[in-house]
Copies of this chain bind each other. A is one copy, B any other.
């Protein structure tokens, strides 16, 4: 296997001997888009480090409601969920390959060994973990204070291909940690203001400037 450690900030600092153990003790994994990588009944048995692609991590409650927690991209790791699972805790999170995935899988034995031997590896794990916790804290702040119209405008702008957004109200609700009715109400308000049009299950942005202005008001 090539030396993939260069793709991961901090792991590129590993001393040569430890780098060699890490390369030996892990393996390349490929998954097609749409693969469920971990979730209830399918615990993570590797710590995944992403070389390319994108993973969506959602929380799924007992009643089947979903919230998107964050996405993991190239150069990042599934450290929060994987490490929780390696610690034998059953998290109600699910990881889905949004695109084709190239990843490195570090099995439990190698993970444990590296945690013991390398301060650099521990630093990598703890910093990656902190960043995910920071993501969770921002999500809590966002949903607690219900700036749903601002967040909806941001999401529509991010998802638009040209002026079209191909998404259901339920999908938007899952992305934003909200209820479908709340999203439908906000979209109806956007439509009333002439910012979007909704027809035949498709959404069209008819006033991008107004939507962008709204998202900027969030940053003040």
What's the minimum C-beta distance from A166 to chain B, rounded to whole angstroms? 24
Give the residue name and chain of the B residue nearest to A87 (CB).
B126
A91 B146 Cβ-Cβ under 8 A? no
Specify which chain B residues have a CB less than 8 angstroms from the CB of A33 in the assembled complex: none
Cβ of A80 under 8 Å from chain B: yes
A177 B140 Cβ-Cβ under 8 A? yes
Could you say which of A80, A127, A130 has the most chain B C-beta atoms within 10 Å of its C-beta? A130
Specify which chain B residues have a CB less than 8 angstroms from the CB of A69 in the assembled complex: 137, 140
Query: Can you list 28 A-B contacts with CB-CB less than 8 angstroms, sorted by A residue number?
Result: A59-B137, A61-B141, A65-B141, A67-B140, A67-B144, A69-B137, A69-B140, A80-B133, A83-B130, A84-B129, A84-B130, A86-B126, A87-B123, A87-B126, A88-B127, A89-B130, A112-B119, A115-B115, A116-B117, A133-B133, A136-B136, A136-B140, A139-B140, A140-B177, A143-B143, A143-B144, A144-B178, A146-B179
A interface, CB within 8 angstroms of B = 59, 61, 65, 67, 69, 80, 83-84, 86-89, 91-93, 112, 115-117, 119, 122-123, 126-127, 129-131, 133-134, 136-137, 139-141, 143-146, 177-179
